[in-house]
Amino acid sequence: MPMAREIEFREALREAMSEEMRSDPRVFLMGEEVAQYHGAYKVSKGMLEEFGPRRIIDTPISESGFAGMGIGATMLGLRPIVEFMSWSFSLVAADQIMNNAPKILYMSGGQFGCPIVFRGNDGAGGQLGSTHSWCVESLYANVPGLKMIIPSDPYDAKGLLKSAIRDENPVFCLESERLLSIKGDVPEEEYVIPIGEAVIRRPGTDCTLVGFGRTVYFCEQAAEELAKEGIECEILDMRSIRPLDLDAIVTSVRKTNYCVVVDQSWSFASIGSEVAAEVHKACFDDLDNHVHRVHNDDVPAPYSHDLEQEMLPHARKICEAVRSATYNA
């Protein structure tokens, strides 16, 4: 039986893209610095040498241009992977990725869809300033017709991205720059992870912590601290935002009777508020307190390292939310 290897998150993304490109000649990668420079974060290192410049394509600094070109390529039967160096930069391509890609299947009366993957770094990284630190999930998840995945470890990064590349719909893959160097076990054999299936990262009985992406690590840090106080938290990693595995969340909350949602974006009109609303509706008789939410502070991301760290939904804030939910029920 093949042994799992410990590889970096970025390597898992690269393996997913490379394997799908080897098996399907319609798949190609395009974006800023993905070829000659091996990717701004070295995700595509070595791919130009293997696949050549017709399939690993450096683009101008024009997100609206190459996002639109990728969408057009799907209409000719290709399956592009479009890398945004940062999802913050995708905002200038909003018309293409929000108003065109998710609606092509509907607008064409089902005649053709848009099998495209948009991927890149999302959220506050390491002192990148407010305009480079957007968490765009709540903005883009509002649009029907797309799927959205947010992996939290190398295993999920590879399995979810492979599923995304094969999907017949536009899929947004949001990756945290702060996770790209983390390592995890990834099998050598072929596998995929279905989009829309959550996973329990840590079993518990006293409170459900719902997170995704980088927030899963904040939840794990908080759970370790709370365990010292006798509070055993269950951590549920949503893994995808659209579709949302509400059944898994409801099952966990009905077991623990408490819920804290952790979301690395602003609280107003957020993924966290949507999850809280759905949990309240589905678990009204099971909850012993209202759903608590932990978000970024409602400010632009600071450049200062210490201020940026304080802005994030870190472990102390999560612990305070869990104590408030469970002690004050």
CB-based contacts of 222, cutoff 8 Å, min separation 6: 209, 233, 315, 316, 318, 319, 322
Report d(CA 140, CA 144) in Å as an integer.
9
> Within 10 Å of residue 34's Cβ, how many Cβ atoms?
25
Burial of residue 154 (number of CB atoms within 10 Å: 0-12, 13-18, 19+): buried
CB 59, CB 66: distance < 8 Å: yes
Q: Which residues are catalytic?
A: 63, 132
Which residues are registered as beta bridge partners of 86?
121
